[in-house]
């Protein structure tokens, strides 16, 4: 398997624009996680899905953030409208019994909002 | 809410030294604990996963121990190499918080 695949790897956008981050989890994994990493706050869990259903979105900072998982092989994290304080690295991760519940991370999407 | 503390925040050692990274967590009701490595500009790579019923796990030069009751884990790196330079993160896994990450220990191994 190619691992967790995220796109785009890097994005620079202007304040107010919509940002969509994409993730393809490892095949066979039934849990998917979106994390945000900043220097100030470290790694924070935004939301996680189990079997495509959102289980806990308490980490989603504001209504400007939304996440979907329409099927087992795809998820999106959307920010609308984006603000400079959203600049961070956004990681997608997945795990499942097939990997012994070891969580695997994607390479991250590096977002800069100017 | 799970809180994770890693000590030291940064560590610089000469090549060949054995070293210990420390992790403490407040909620001992964990399913497992993972140690990760993060290289600059990269994602996280899982190094070791210790189940709550286990005391330690070993992979090559790495050994992780877990004392669940006291809320502590250590990562031991033997015979450190410059390629070990990275940030090491500890993450206990609980049913409520899922994975909670510490701030990490930034390790530099000097040739």
Q: What is the spatial distance between Cα A17 and Cα B15, in angstroms, rounded to a whole number? A: 47
Beta strands in A1-114 (DSSP E): 5-7, 10-13, 19-24, 31-38, 42-50, 53-56, 65-71, 74-79, 88-95, 104-105, 109-113
Determine how many CB atoms are found less than 10 A away from the CB of residue B31: 13
How far, in Å, CA of B41 to CA of B28, rounded? 32
Contact check, Cβ <8 Å, A33/B98: yes
Task: Check the CA dihedral B68-B69-B75-B76 and report its sign.
Answer: negative
- Does the distance separating the beta carbons of B99 and A33 come in below 8 Å? yes
Whether residue B11 lies within 8 A of chain A, CB to CB, comes out as no
Give chain B positions within 8 Å (CB) of A42: 101-104
Contacts across the A-B interface (CB distance below 8 Å): 40
pLDDT tens string A58-75: 889 889 999 999 999 999
Please report the pLDDT score of residue A96 as a whole number.
83
From the list B45, B97, B103, the residue facing A42 with the nearest CB is: B103
Q: Tens place of pLDDT for every residue, chain B, 111 residues?
A: 889 999 999 999 999 999 999 999 999 999 999 999 999 888 899 999 999 999 999 999 999 999 999 999 999 999 999 999 999 999 999 876 588 999 999 999 999
Q: List CB contacts (< 8 A) between B100 and chain A.
A: 45
B111: tokens are 């040739």
One pLDDT digit (tens) per residue for chain A, 114 residues: 679 999 999 999 999 999 999 999 999 999 999 999 998 888 999 999 999 999 989 889 889 999 999 999 999 999 999 999 999 999 999 988 777 778 899 999 999 999
């Amino acid at each position: 398997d190619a691992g967790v695949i995220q796109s785009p790897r890097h994005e620079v956008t202007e304040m107010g624009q919509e940002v969509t981050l994409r993730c393809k989890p490892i095949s066979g994994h039934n849990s998917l996680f979106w994390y945000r990493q900043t220097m100030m706050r470290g790694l924070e869990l935004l939301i996680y899905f189990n079997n495509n259903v959102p289980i806990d979105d308490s980490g989603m900072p504001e209504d400007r953030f939304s996440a979907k998982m329409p099927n087992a092989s795809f998820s999106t994290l959307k920010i609308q409208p984006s603000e400079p304080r959203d600049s961070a690295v956004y990681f997608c991760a997945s795990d499942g019994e097939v990997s012994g519940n070891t969580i695997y991370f994607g390479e991250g999407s590096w977002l800069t909002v100017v | 809410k799970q809180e994770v503390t890693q000590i030291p925040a940064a560590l610089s050692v000469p090549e060949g030294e054995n070293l210990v990274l420390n992790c403490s967590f407040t909620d001992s009701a964990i399913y497992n604990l993972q140690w990760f490595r993060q290289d600059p500009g990269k994602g996280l790579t899982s190094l070791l996963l210790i189940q709550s019923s286990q005391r330690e796990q070993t992979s090559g030069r790495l050994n992780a121990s877990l004392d669940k009751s006291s809320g502590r884990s250590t990562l031991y790196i033997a015979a450190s190499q410059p390629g070990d330079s990275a940030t090491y993160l500890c993450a206990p896994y609980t049913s409520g918080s899922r994975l909670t990450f510490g701030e990490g220990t930034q390790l530099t191994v000097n040739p």
